[in-house]
Chain A
Amino acid sequence: MATSVAPPVVTVPRERRRRTPMQQRPRLWLYVVLGLGMIAMIMPFVWMILGSFKTTAEIRQYPLNFWPLEPTLDNYTELFVRLDFATFFTNSLVVAVFVTAGNIVFSSMVGYALAKLDFAGKKVLFMLVLGTLMVPGVVTFVPLFVLTANLGLVNSYPGLILPFLIAPLGVFLMRQFMLSLPDDLIEAARIDGASEWRIFLRVIMPLCGPAVATLTILTFLASWNNFLWPLVVATSEDRYTLPVALALYSVGQNAAEYGLMMAGAVVVVLPILLIFVLLQKYFVQGIALTGIK
């Protein structure tokens, strides 16, 4: 930089910047770029919602019109009358509720043992949990189907639910959270003669609210969006979950019914989007606790 420039003009902003280097003056162009990116991120959802109120003819007409000319609820009526989306919705909900409950109960129990108890085999158990954190459904679904078929559970709620009642990720999350709870509380309860089960239920669990909230959201979400296993094990319409029904219809005879499929996508996505916007801090907390979505 030229040294001959009048000093005060140059140094004043420099001084200011040096004091708060991370808080540079907000740059307008960044807002513009982020805003355009935001539109790209949100546009598919906007298009989905608008499309769900259009007739297929209107979606397909060219040139496109953005807003529905004659908004109609026909797509939704058809979803719930001609196709049985109420059943699919119920199935998704039932499966997600049981899966979430199972994960909370079982993960908390193992998490407590791993975080607060000292026992033989602890390292091995933790290695098992860590080692299977990322095992995807595509590796296990074939033998799992053979097992389910032999148990006679194909196309049943237990068949949909049982394999997902536990997940290593939940154990990892609960353990990480419980590690941060002070040992003094437990020691005090032990001196008072409380059993480990009592300590777990009365001392530890009441403090685990944030972790349980995060686990609830992550598990419910994963179950709601789960596709491969329900696709494999639900063999008739009365056991389809929402993603299975939507996927099979979208590649089947309703493939060309754009409006109907958009409405179906709304039914799957919108409840989750609303929950997310309302509870977004817990979603982010999950990543902070485990480093994993």
Chain B
Amino acid sequence: MALAHTAKPAPGRARKPRSRRSRQTVVAWSFAAPFLILFVIFMAGPIVASLAMSFTDLTTRDLRSPFGVNFVGFENYVALFNDSRFVRSLANTAVFVLVGVPLTMAVALLVALALNNGITRFRTFFRVGYYAPVVTSIVAVAIVWRFILQPDGLLNGFLGVFGITGPNWLENELTALPSLIFMAVWRNIGTLMVIFLAGLQGVPREHHEAAMVDGASAVQRFWNVTLPAMRPPILFAAVITGIGFLQFFEEPYVMTGGGPLDATLSTAMYTYDQFGFGNYSYASAASYVLFLAIVVLSLIQFRFLGKKD
């Protein structure tokens, strides 16, 4: 690593005296040292250890001697995919992400468009309101939503005004997962709205003007001018929302306990349950399956953020 600069000197830095660079190397690593030590112990270490553990039979009984355990190869992974509850949790998580993410993005984009183009007054007021759920604790709002979605809760009371008898949202197999998705959309609109608003401000006004002169309608301009220019923020929003939604845990933990009949059991919750049973290596394997999906999304985001520099 120390030889890296002699091997390929950066063209712009060739002027600088080499001694200064090596002096700065010592200073720079001393700046980075406290972070790096904590990072290795509490982040990089556990990421590697989690993978390593997933190939062992470590349980709560081995807690005091984590190196006295046996290597079992892919046994945990084989067991996972033979467990119908785990497979069900993967399916639930996939539905949560594949329905929730596009829905959040669509609503957020509509709100951002309305705030950016359609209205001139009360912008800050609306922005604060739509963003507010983002800053709140998921646990706290999940409890509030649980009461709203009770059979005799606020939502069914509201529907009752129109003569509609709402279902028992959280205890009906068909409506439980959609209810959680609905709440997650509600909570995440704000983040994407702000990202999209920033993106919309970057769409060149001249392009809109040119399209208008050519007689393009508002809808045509949205599809042919706004959307293409918004590709980077839209991709970025999809990635970070996807990563967030893949980990959904608090919502089923507080609102449904994973039920009814595992209809809302998420992979993160399955992992936590296995950890609770003391099956540490098995839980690690489950979390690594989830991690794999997140890594795929992260790689896209990695390239995207890398390009911005």
Contact = CB atoms under 8 A, between A and B. Distances in A.
A265 B141 contact: yes
A130 B1 contact: no
Given A34-B111, A292-B240, A293-B134, A47 B140 contact: no
Contact of A224 (B126, B129, B137, B287): B137
Given A51-B147, A60-B152, A140-B46, A30 B114 contact: yes
B81 interface: no
Interface stretch (B32-40, B82-90, B167-175): B32-40
B38 A272 contact: no
B298 A24 contact: no
A138 B268 contact: yes
B43 A135 contact: yes
A135 B47 contact: yes
A131 B301 CA distance: 9
B302 A166 contact: no
A18 B189 CA distance: 32
Contact of A142 (B38, B53, B111, B133): B53
Contacts of B136: 45, 225, 268-269, 272-273
Contact of B133 (A37, A41, A149, A268): A41
B49 A143 contact: yes
Contacts of A81: none
A48 B144 contact: yes
Interface string A239-276: 00011001100110000001001101100110011001
Contact of B147 (A113, A261, A291): A261
Contacts of B2: 120-121
A112 B29 CA distance: 11
A130 B247 CA distance: 19
A133 B135 CA distance: 19
Interface in A18-32: 18, 21-24, 26-27, 30-31
Interface in A120-165: 120-122, 124-125, 128, 130-147, 149-150, 162-163, 165
B191 A287 contact: yes
B143 A261 contact: yes
A136 B243 contact: yes
A152 to B, nearest CB: 11
Given A166-B42, A262-B144, A269-B136, A146 B280 contact: yes
B47 A262 contact: no
Given A41-B186, A139-B287, A265-B141, A64 B194 contact: no
A120 B29 CA distance: 9
Interface in B241-292: 243, 246-247, 249-250, 253-254, 257, 268, 271-272, 275, 280, 283-284, 287-288, 290-291
Interface residues of A, number: 105
Contact of A287 (B31, B43, B122, B195): B195
Tell me the dominant secondary structure on chain B's binding face.
helix
B157 interface: yes
A134 B301 contact: yes
B288 A22 contact: no
A59 interface: yes
Interface residues of B, number: 113
Contacts of B209: 18, 21
A24 B44 contact: no
Contact of A143 (B46, B64, B186): B46
B160 interface: yes
Interface in B147-200: 147-148, 152, 154, 157, 160, 186, 189, 191, 194-195, 198
B137 A268 contact: yes
A30 B141 contact: no
Interface in A182-200: 196-197, 200
14 contacts: A26-B120, A27-B119, A33-B114, A38-B126, A51-B144, A64-B154, A119-B25, A134-B240, A136-B243, A142-B50, A150-B66, A246-B143, A272-B135, A283-B135
Given A125-B36, A134-B301, 13 more contacts: A41-B189, A45-B136, A63-B157, A128-B39, A134-B298, A143-B53, A168-B39, A196-B24, A262-B143, A272-B135, A272-B137, A277-B132, A287-B191
Interface of A: 17-18, 21-24, 26-27, 30-31, 33-34, 37-38, 40-45, 47-48, 51, 59-60, 62-64, 105-107, 109-110, 112-113, 117-122, 124-125, 128, 130-147, 149-150, 162-163, 165-166, 168, 171, 196-197, 200, 221, 224-225, 227-228, 231-232, 242-243, 246-247, 250-251, 258, 261-262, 264-265, 268-269, 272-273, 276-277, 280, 283-284, 287-288, 291-293
